[in-house]
Structure formats: C-alpha cells, structure tokens
Structure 1
Amino acid sequence: MPIDTRELMEAVGMLTDQRNVRVTIKSSAKGAMVCGTTCFIGGLLGGPVGLAVGGTIGAIGAGMMSKGKFRSVNEIIMQEMSDREREQLKERILKALSQFHPTDMAVLLPLIMGNAAAQQAILSTVISFVTNEMKMQIVD
C-alpha cells in the first residue's frame, strides 16, 4: 500500500512539534538591526548607561516587532506548503528512511515515533527542505 502524503505530513508535524522546531519569517535580521541601532545611539548619547538603556529599549522593540513571526514547522507544512511541495518533502523523507525499508504507514508510524535514528533522519530532511527550498530560517 503506498504511503499517504497527508498522513506522513501529520506524523512529521507531530515530530516537529514534539521537538519544538520553529521558523522565523525574515524578522531576526531586522530585530538585530533595531536592537544594535538603539544600543549604539544610547551609547553615543549616554555613555555606558546609555548603552544599557539603548540595548534594553532595542531588545523590547525588536521583541514587539517579531511577535507572531515565529511559527512551528508543523504550521508551515500543513498550512503553507503546496501539494507539490508536500510531495517533494515526502519523497525526500522516504529517501532518507530507505535504510529502514518503510513499506506503508502501518510500518512507518511506529518507526517515526519509536526510532531515534529515523527521527533524526526525518528532522534533518525537513530542516534541509524548509531552509533550502522554502528559504526560511530555523530557530533553535
């Protein structure tokens, strides 16, 4: 029986949620720039105390700017990927798991949930796909 893409993506989504794998949508660089700029300006205006105040204000501003811009990989897979991208990801995952010989979901689900090597192979494949194909940045 062929492996159903939707079921595989749900299993992968559970694994990425369990490991708390998230992506940022191009906001980390902006946040660093805001934080650095306010710290620099604070340092120019107030010396060492200005550095601390500017850095604090910048960090708060950067945090407010990035609110809601970090999302789980599961959300990306289930809501933003096209069917074509899901199929590509499925093929890459199955290729990464070829050493385990999964033939159908009845074999694959226990493998995903109970085998650390299989989980690492899947996570590496998903992270590679999200960063290289979808041009998103993974947050540790």
Structure 2
Amino acid sequence: MLPLRFMNKPLSVDDVMKLLISIAEERKMKEDIEKGATIAGSGAFIGGLVGGPPGIAAGGAVGGLLGASTTNGQRKPIPQMITELPPDKKQKLYNEATAILGDLEWMDPKELTKQVMDNETMKQQLLALLEKFLEG
C-alpha cells in the first residue's frame, strides 16, 4: 500500500469547481490591474503631450478613472457562470479537469489548489479548458 502522502483523496465536483473559480479569479484580477494601469498610463502620457507637467497629472487622473470604470465587468463573472452550470455540465467540466490533474498527488483540495496555483502550465491548461467550456 502507498504511504498516505501519495494517496489522492477523491475530489468532489464542488472541489474542482472551487479550484477552477480560484484560477479564474486570480487571472481576472491580474487582467483588470494590467488593463487599468495601461489606460491610466496612456492618459498621463497624452495629458503630458497636450498640457505639459500639469497635463500629466490631469491625464493620469482621467486615465485612472477610465481604467477603473473599464475593469468593471460587463459580463457575468466567471465564478457565477461556474456555480450556475447545471449538474450535467458541471460533471462534464469535472471529468475534463480531473483528466488534466491526473498526474498530481495531493491529500486534500487545499493542497491540490496550492499545487495548481504554483504550476503555471497546469493553470494555463485549466484556464484554456474553462474558456473553451464556457464559450461553447
């Protein structure tokens, strides 16, 4: 028999949905910050071109407000989309996600989530699965 640390505890559908939500939330947070910073920086740059040093401040302020307003989601948040999936679709997503997770060894969902969050390749695979699944 394998030592306990090498035994994968069965994951429930809810455990996998929580994992996918964690990955999606981390990605959205990064994208929102990058998008907002780009818009704010662009505003400061344009303001500087038009109004010199005072224009930088004004452009940065306006760009910051625009950046903040554009990061507010127009679509349903991904966590909400996942939780609203019907049971049969959750099961299908679960089956596809656990196929990707197959090589990992974990003792509980918390440990598995940490391993996935530390593994950029696996995160990208799960994000691609999630995007494909939610689009189709």
1:39 counterpart residue number: 44
Alpha-carbon distance, 1:73 to partner: 4.3
Alpha-carbon distance, 1:46 to partner: 1.0
Alpha-carbon distance, 1:72 to partner: 5.9
2:81 counterpart residue number: 76
Give the alignment partner of residue 86 of structure 1, picking from 60, 85, 90.
90
What SS is found at the alignment partner of 2:72? coil
Q: TM-score, normalised by structure 1?
A: 0.52
Q: 1:37-96: CA deviations, max 9, x gaps? A: 5334412321133123202211122202323559764323113x5666534422222212
The answer for unaligned runs of 5 or more in structure 1 is: 102-107, 136-140
- Distance change in 2, residues 1:12/1:98 (3 Å): closer
Aligned partner of 1:89: which letter?
L
Tell me how many residue pairs correspond in the alignment: 121
- Distance change in 2, residues 1:77/1:12 (3 Å): same
CA RMSD of aligned residues (A): 4.4
Following the alignment from structure 2 to structure 1, what is the Cα–Cα distance between the partners of residues 122 and 109?
Answer: 8
- Higher mean alpha-carbon deviation, 57-66 vs 125-134, is at 125-134
Following the alignment from structure 2 to structure 1, what is the Cα–Cα distance between the partners of residues 35 and 134?
Answer: 19
Query: What percentage of aligned pairs have identical amino acids?
Result: 20
The answer for unaligned runs of 5 or more in structure 2 is: 1-9
- Looking at secondary structure, tell me which structure has more helix per residue: 2
Matched, 1:114 2:94: no
Following the alignment from structure 2 to structure 1, what is the Cα–Cα distance between the partners of residues 97 and 104?
Answer: 11
Q: Following superposition of structure 1 onto structure 2, how do residues 1-140 of structure 1 map, counting pairs within 5 Å?
A: 7-8=12-13, 10-16=14-20, 20-23=25-28, 34-35=39-40, 38-68=43-73, 73-79=78-84, 81=85, 85-99=89-103, 110-115=107-112, 116-117=114-115, 123-134=123-134
